[in-house]
């Protein structure tokens, strides 16, 4: 079995791993085992598929299975799940078409992704209660939407996936209620920034209920009666967006080390603590460059990069993954909402002497059509160490702006370095006083006058 590489999972990390392994070793036997009927598709495109702006589920598939089989000589097996790893005998137990058998490996890459959290509440096993983690989940919900059978929907969870779902369903004409247990939407933002997102969600007609829990659901004919807070609502469907955990049990159950969230721990070449078993993607807690320790930050670009490194390393090449800084952007109706590094709340929870500086700028020159507000929050220490940023505003420029800070964090730049950054300017793209630089100047002023009041 020495030369067979087995990859468990055909998502972003798994197919990147298999493709990188093929480039590294043209002779290696590579088998990818994928439980669902799809591989190599854009999970991140699901909200737009549900909204209808992406017409067909097939449009989300980056390459068809035949591409991997014929062009890359990767033996991709769909509807094939792995139920057990035997790290001593180096084989996995595979279920396909109701039959179980063993498949040996020389090296193994676990890319089993994330699993949605399902609250243990009555009635949530109903077919009208959806989690959105696979294309098959999305296809079932889209069928109901296309049949005109979702006039009202409850979204449970006001994180980024919950809000993406709220937007998609509202675009399909559904009356959307979102319940969120915390007192803000997007708990991974600082509350003043989350308040801007909340305003937008309410402005767009979503019935948003904060500090409100789902208690259960009950089927009534074609509908569901749900108990939320002290009220009872009747809706056509429920979407659970109550968080994601690493789907790590396959490797963790046979001894692979995990962090306290249950995500697999790996070295810089994506090796787990099991011999010749690598892991990549959402099932892993990679090194976080600002925290200086592993952290569970399940996002697409990191999954692809980790997969590539795992594939090269598992095929005998040399590659390392330097870690993440936790950069993400999401569209919430007309707002782009982005973060990188640590929020103020996260930095303080780490015991860092952090403060936050906020600046309000414009997306373009104020006289140029389409210019709108851009709010930037920089998180830093009083002596000028950059720790993170959040940016909320209109237009495509928000993603570009967070990426500037992400690169600054990765390079270990200070607030003063950011002030000096030579960023581009033209009226259609940015104001001459770029909002990120406005925030950096204000933060730098704090660092150079440390006794001045702290902007929190």
Ligand X SMILES: Cc1cc2nc3c(=O)[nH]c(=O)nc-3n(C[C@H](O)[C@H](O)[C@H](O)COP(=O)(O)OP(=O)(O)OC[C@H]3O[C@@H](n4cnc5c(N)ncnc54)[C@H](O)[C@@H]3O)c2cc1C
Candidates 29-37, 63-71, 118-126, 349-357; binding stretch for ligand X (CB under 6 A): 29-37
Q: What is the CA radius of gyration of the chain?
A: 23
Question: Of 219, 14, 183, nearest to 108 (Cα)?
Answer: 14
By the rule CB under 6 A, 46 interacts with ligand X: yes
Cα distances from 5 to residues 20, 23, 40, 45, 83, in angstroms, run 12, 13, 18, 29, 17
Catalytic-residue membership of 143: no
DSSP bridge pairs for 225:
218, 234
Residue closer to ligand X (CB basis): 110 or 439? 110
For residues 188 and 4, give the distance between their C-alpha atoms in angstroms, rounded to a whole number. Answer: 41
By the rule CB under 6 A, 17 interacts with ligand X: no
Cα distances from 322 to residues 18, 110, 286, 292, 398, in angstroms, run 20, 19, 9, 11, 25
- Phi then psi dihedrals of residue 251, to 5 deg: -85, -40
Candidates 3-11, 22-30, 196-204, 432-440; binding stretch for ligand X (CB under 6 A): 3-11
User: How near is the Cβ of 348 to ligand X at its closest, in Å?
Assistant: 25
Q: Pick one of 12, 217, 263, 379: the residue that binds ligand X (CB under 6 A).
A: 12
Q: Pick one of 8, 150, 197, 352: the residue that binds ligand X (CB under 6 A).
A: 8
Return the beta strands (E) in 230-382 as ranges: 231-235, 237-240, 244-246, 277-279, 287-288, 293-294, 328-332, 335-341, 354-362, 373-381
Residue closer to ligand X (CB basis): 62 or 456? 62
- Phi then psi dihedrals of residue 133, to 5 deg: -130, -20
By the rule CB under 6 A, 311 interacts with ligand X: no
Residue closer to ligand X (CB basis): 111 or 381? 111
Cα distances from 319 to residues 266, 311, 313, 367, 382, in angstroms, run 13, 9, 6, 48, 36
By the rule CB under 6 A, 162 interacts with ligand X: no
Q: Pick one of 133, 305, 385, 400: the residue that binds ligand X (CB under 6 A).
A: 133
Candidates 59-67, 128-136, 177-185, 408-416; binding stretch for ligand X (CB under 6 A): 128-136
By the rule CB under 6 A, 37 interacts with ligand X: no
Residue closer to ligand X (CB basis): 109 or 387? 109
The pairing of beta strand 114-116 with beta strand 244-246: antiparallel
Of 44, 225, 348, 421, catalytic: 44
3 state DSSP class of 122: coil
Q: Pick one of 24, 111, 184, 223: the residue that binds ligand X (CB under 6 A).
A: 111
By the rule CB under 6 A, 10 interacts with ligand X: yes
Using CB under 6 A as the criterion, which residues of the chain lie in contact with ligand X when the complex forms? 8-14, 33-36, 43-44, 46-47, 81-82, 111-114, 132-134, 161, 247, 250, 281-282, 298-301, 303, 328
Which amino acids are annotated catalytic?
A: 44
């Amino acid at each position: 079995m020495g030369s067979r590489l087995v990859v468990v999972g055909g998502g972003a990390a798994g197919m990147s791993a298999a493709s990188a392994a093929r480039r590294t070793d043209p002779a290696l036997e590579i088998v990818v085992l994928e439980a669902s009927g799809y591989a190599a598709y854009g999970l991140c495109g699901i909200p737009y598929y549900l909204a209808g702006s992406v017409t067909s589920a097939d449009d989300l598939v980056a390459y068809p299975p035949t591409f991997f089989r014929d062009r890359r000589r990767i033996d991709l097996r769909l509807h094939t799940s792995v139920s057990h790893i035997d790290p001593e005998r180096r084989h996995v137990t595979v279920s396909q078409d109701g039959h179980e058998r063993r498949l040996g490996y020389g090296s193994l890459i676990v890319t089993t992704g994330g699993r949605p959290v399902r609250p243990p509440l009555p009635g949530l096993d109903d077919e009208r209660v959806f989690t959105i983690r696979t294309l098959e989940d999305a296809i079932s919900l889209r069928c109901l939407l296309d049949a005109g059978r979702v006039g009202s929907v409850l979204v449970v969870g006001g994180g980024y996936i919950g809000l993406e779902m709220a937007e998609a369903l509202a675009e399909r004409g559904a009356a959307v209620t979102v319940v969120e247990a915390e007192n803000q939407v997007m708990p991974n933002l600082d509350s003043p920034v989350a308040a801007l997102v909340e305003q937008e969600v309410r402005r767009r007609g979503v019935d948003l209920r904060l500090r409100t829990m789902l208690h259960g659901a009950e089927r009534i004919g074609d509908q569901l009666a749900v108990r939320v807070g002290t009220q009872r609502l009747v809706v056509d469907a429920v979407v659970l967006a109550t968080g994601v955990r690493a789907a790590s049990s396959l490797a963790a159950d046979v001894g692979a080390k995990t962090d306290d969230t249950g995500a697999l721990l790996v070295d810089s070449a994506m090796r787990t603590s099991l011999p010749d078993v690598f892991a990549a993607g959402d099932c892993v807690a990679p090194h976080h460059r600002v925290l200086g320790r592993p952290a569970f930050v399940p996002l697409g670009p990191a999954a692809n990069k980790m997969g590539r490194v795992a594939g090269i390393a598992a095929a005998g090449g040399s590659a390392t993954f330097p870690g993440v800084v936790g950069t993400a952007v999401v569209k919430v109706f007309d707002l782009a909402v982005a973060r990188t590094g640590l929020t103020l709340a996260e930095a303080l929870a780490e015991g860092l002497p952090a403060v936050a500086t906020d600046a309000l700028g414009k997306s373009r020159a104020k006289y140029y059509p389409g210019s709108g507000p851009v709010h930037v929050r920089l998180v830093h220490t009083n002596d000028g160490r950059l720790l993170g940023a959040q940016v909320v505003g209109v237009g495509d420029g928000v993603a570009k702006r967070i990426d500037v800070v992400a690169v600054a964090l990765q390079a270990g730049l200070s607030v003063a370095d950011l002030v000096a950054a030579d960023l581009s300017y033209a009226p259609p793209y940015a104001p001459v006083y770029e909002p990120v630089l406005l925030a950096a100047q204000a933060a730098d002023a704090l660092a150079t006058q440390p006794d001045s009041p702290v902007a929190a």
